[in-house]
């Protein structure tokens, strides 16, 4: 039953009971004193709500800015939108299961939902990378267009169904930074032997150009960088990187992040749990995820500018741009990595073909719209005070 129908029905029932009660009083007043009392109206039937608690595990530290708080906001939104009929209880990385076991926990039913980044699951299928970010792939706006209107969601559903999961886009960090390094990166040769925390296909590209890719959950990055276990790391961007404190152990901060041009975060729901939900509750989950997908992207864009200013002007961070020569070499390596992913199995090939076709169209429009506009906006002209 829809909540508005329930409220309307309850109000009508209450009104009927009140009118009946008034009628009883009038009849009792008009009746002789020795008359038998009129029978009492039966109480209105109680309408019960089926309450349900769902466990959401995450790959993020609980309360971590943007990522952890976004997951909490999603959990709270679903709880509020169902009027508490569904309560989503959030567990940060390591609280219920280890951070990188979130997918398995939802797949096997230990947990009901996860909030994470699907490229963490590339050990199960390299194709999962497409639904977070791939090297020189889609921006956040382009990812939304592909998932919602380019066939991406249907392909994601097909891939995840094999693991008993129903996936949704539920956050985006936008274009990420290239990372933190303990030395200047002037040529491709500087990547040789470099130990860098970089998950997903970006890590594969790193290996192609001679580096060593290491996957670590967020909570292990700083101590690994501090101890020298890794020489460099990427994480997200200025807002999150400031919170992680990477500036305390290294000062070279490079851009752009070729590996994650628009990182989509995901909410995966156990397929059995998803199928048990009513159509109304499925719509709640779907639209709560879509809202968080947009809201998180806005939050990162709002916070990154101030955080970058703090890193540079208060902590002495050296902001550097990767050279075109390095980016071209990385681009060539990225093409090889993507081709290898496509060749790994028929479903990966199917996803790759669709993705590549959409990427070509998206690049054409983006170059004429956002890229052209931002270049025009940066020209020297009088605007404001």
Domain contains 325: yes
Q: Which two tokens stand for residue 231?
A: 């020489």
Handedness of CA 167, 88, 57, 289 (dihedral sign): positive
Residues 77 and 199 in one domain: no
Within a domain: 284 = yes
The CATH number covering residue 91 comes to: 3.40.190.170
Do residues 70 and 135 share a domain?
yes
Contacts of 116 (CB under 8 A, 6+ apart): 58, 59, 60, 99, 102, 103, 265, 266, 268
The structure tokens listed for 184 are: 């200047």
**Residues, the chain, total?**
385
Q: What is the pLDDT along the chain (385 residues), one digit of tens a residue?
A: 443 343 334 333 334 333 333 344 334 444 444 444 544 544 444 334 579 999 999 999 899 999 999 999 999 999 999 999 999 999 999 999 999 999 999 999 999 999 999 999 999 999 999 999 999 999 999 999 999 999 999 999 999 999 999 999 999 999 999 999 999 999 999 999 999 999 889 999 999 999 999 988 778 999 999 999 999 999 999 999 999 999 999 999 999 999 999 999 999 999 999 999 999 999 999 999 999 999 999 999 999 999 999 999 999 999 999 999 999 999 999 999 999 999 999 999 999 999 999 999 999 999 999 999 999 999 999 998 6
CATH of residue 332: 3.40.190.10
Report the predicted TM-score, pTM, of the whole model to 2 decimal places: 0.84
Domain termination residue (choose one: 301, 324, 358): 301
Q: For residue 322, what are the domain limits?
A: 179-261+308-346
The domain tally of the chain equals: 2
Tell me if the bond preceding 314 is cis, omega within 30° of 0: no
Establish whether the linkage from the previous residue to 220 is cis, with ω within 30° of 0.
no
């Amino acid at each position: 039953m829809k909540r508005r129908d329930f409220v309307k029905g309850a109000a009508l029932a209450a009104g009927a009971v009140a009118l009946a009660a008034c009628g009883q009083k009038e009849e009792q007043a008009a009746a002789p004193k020795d008359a038998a009392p009129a029978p009492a109206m039966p109480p209105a039937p109680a309408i019960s709500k089926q309450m349900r608690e769902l466990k959401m595990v995450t790959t993020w530290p609980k309360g971590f800015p943007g990522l952890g708080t976004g997951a909490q906001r999603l959990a709270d939104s679903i709880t509020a939108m169902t009027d508490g009929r569904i309560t989503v209880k959030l567990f940060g990385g390591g609280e219920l299961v280890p951070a990188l076991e979130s997918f398995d926990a939802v797949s096997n039913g230990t947990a009901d939902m996860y909030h994470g980044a699907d490229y963490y699951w590339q050990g199960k299928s390299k194709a999962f990378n497409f639904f977070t970010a791939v090297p020189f792939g889609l921006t956040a706006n382009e990812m939304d267009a592909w998932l919602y209107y380019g066939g991406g969601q249907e392909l994601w559903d097909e891939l995840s169904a094999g693991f008993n999961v129903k996936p949704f886009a539920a956050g985006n960090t936008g274009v990420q930074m290239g990372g933190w390094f303990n030395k200047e990166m002037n040529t491709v040769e500087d990547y040789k032997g470099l130990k860098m925390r970089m998950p997903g296909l970006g890590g594969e590209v790193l290996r192609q150009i001679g580096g060593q890719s290491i996957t670590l959950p967020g909570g292990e990055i700083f101590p690994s960088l501090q101890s020298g276990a890794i020489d460099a790391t990427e994480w997200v961007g200025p807002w999150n990187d400031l919170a992680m404190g990477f500036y305390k152990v290294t000062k070279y901060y490079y851009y752009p992040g070729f590996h994650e041009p628009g990182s989509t975060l995901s909410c995966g729901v156990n397929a059995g749990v998803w199928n048990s939900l009513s159509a109304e509750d499925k719509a709640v989950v779907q639209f709560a995820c879509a809202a968080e997908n947009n809201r998180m992207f806005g939050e990162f864009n709002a916070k990154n500018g101030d955080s970058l200013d703090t890193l540079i002007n208060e902590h002495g961070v050296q902001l550097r741009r990767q050279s075109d020569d390095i980016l071209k070499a990385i681009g060539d390596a990225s093409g090889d990595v993507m081709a290898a992913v496509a060749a790994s199995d028929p479903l990966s090939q199917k996803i790759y073909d669709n993705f590549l076709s959409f990427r070509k169209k998206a690049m054409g429009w983006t170059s004429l719209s956002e890229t052209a506009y931002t270049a025009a906006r940066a020209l020297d002209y009088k605007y404001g005070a």
